[in-house]
Structure 1
Amino acid sequence: MRLVIVGSQNPAKVRPVQEVFAKLEPEAVIVGQNVPSGVPDQPLGEEETRRGAVNRAWAAVHIAEAQQAEEAWGVGLEGGVRIDDAGNGWLFGIVAVAHSGKLETVRTAEMRLPPPVLARVQGGEELGSVMDDLLGTVDVKRGVGSVGVLTGGLADRADVWRLGLALALAPFLNAELYSSGPSDTQTPSML
């Protein structure tokens, strides 16, 4: 049995992982599990965001391995905000996949945040809470996300995670083509 643990119980993260793995193996079991990211609730910058996704993926795969699954997978999804040299804020994500002692990470597409949203995120607030407050929504991060709201539904948070996960899985799906080079990180670096 293929057991995939997603390092979150947020439906907006678990659902896209279920959809991607259902295409690979319909019998796969995909479960969301809260695990520590080791970074703030709203990571700032690529390094902090990547660290959160990687920590989640390793913690998740260890849970799957402890359940003695034939194939244990861990997936970490972490949304972050980076600030460019001009002071613009950009929403993006990092997808990390851990399997058989190997790790692959992918950076997702990004979208510029409105200045009033960025100011509050820089002040220490989490993006989802800021969006809920400004737009009168409730728990937007567990649904369409800021991407869904700001694009008027043309794309949503799950779309970004699905694509990122598919790209991160490429080296696992084509191991013979990737075997001559190192994976992103070969060993766990837990919290």
Structure 2
Amino acid sequence: MQVVVASKNPVKINATQEGFRQIFPKGELSVTGLSVPSGVSDQPMTDEETLQGAANRARNARHEQPDADYWVGIEGGLDETPQGLIAFAWVVILSQNQMGQSRTSTFHLPPKVTELIHQGIELGHANDQVFGEKNSKQKGGAVGSLTGGVLGRTEYYVQAVMLALVPFKNPEIYPIH
């Protein structure tokens, strides 16, 4: 099974590999990363824009490397709620004839991070400034910083990858797209 992740970020590649291994434990798995554009802002600021970015990444990866079995787009995003700014990610998985998608759980960002984001700074950079980290988005991410490393960005994405694979695990009950 050849899987292309629409990113070179090791967090997204590792989360995809782990999600596929858990849903399809038998068989050989090859997961590679490919840098492709999302077609949305560097920091998506709505649920819709984030989903669009994940879908665009998966489609762009399929276009660039059409010989794979699956293409995975993972896009982190933010959304304003009455309770404050929340963070989450969308996962879109494509095959030649099917699509699956899922969103991670959400968490609220602290005021200092939110303030930097409102100044136009991307979440990863804002997180690095507030927590004194370097390149956290390729490590534990904001979720890792906020949980003291109990939940890292890779683990945070794995569940959404597995849930996006549900239509592929159960093709007899999901319509072909």
Q: TM-score, normalised on structure 2?
A: 0.93
2:144 maps to 148
Identity %: 38
**Structure 1 position 46 matched with structure 2 position 47:** yes
**Structure 1 position 81 matched with structure 2 position 78:** yes
Give the secondary-structure state (helix, strand or coil) at the position aligned to 1:175. coil
Contact 1:117/1:131, CA 8 A, preserved across alignment: yes
Contact 2:98/2:168, CA 8 A, preserved across alignment: no
1:122 maps to 118
What aligned pairs does 1:1-191 form with structure 2 within 5 A after superposition?
A: 2-23=1-22, 24=24, 25-65=26-66, 68-69=67-68, 72-86=69-83, 88-179=84-175, 186=177
Distance (Å, rounded) in 2 between the aligned partners of 1:85 and 1:133 = 25
**Displacement of 1:85 after TM fit?**
2.6
Unmatched 5+ residue regions in structure 1? 187-191
**Displacement of 1:116 after TM fit?**
1.5
State the one-letter code of the partner of 1:130.
A
Distance (Å, rounded) in 2 between the aligned partners of 1:74 and 1:122 = 32
C-alpha distance after superposition, 1:72-119 (max 9, x if no partner):
210000010110134x00011100001123222211100000012112
**Structure 1 residue runs of 4 or more that deviate by more than 2 Å after TM superposition:** 20-23, 61-64
> What value does the CA root-mean-square deviation take over the aligned residues?
1.5
How many residue pairs get matched? 175
State the one-letter code of the partner of 1:94.
W
State the one-letter code of the partner of 1:73.
Y
Contact 2:100/2:166, CA 8 A, preserved across alignment: no
Distance (Å, rounded) in 2 between the aligned partners of 1:149 and 1:85 = 24
Distance (Å, rounded) in 2 between the aligned partners of 1:124 and 1:77 = 21
Unmatched 5+ residue regions in structure 2? none
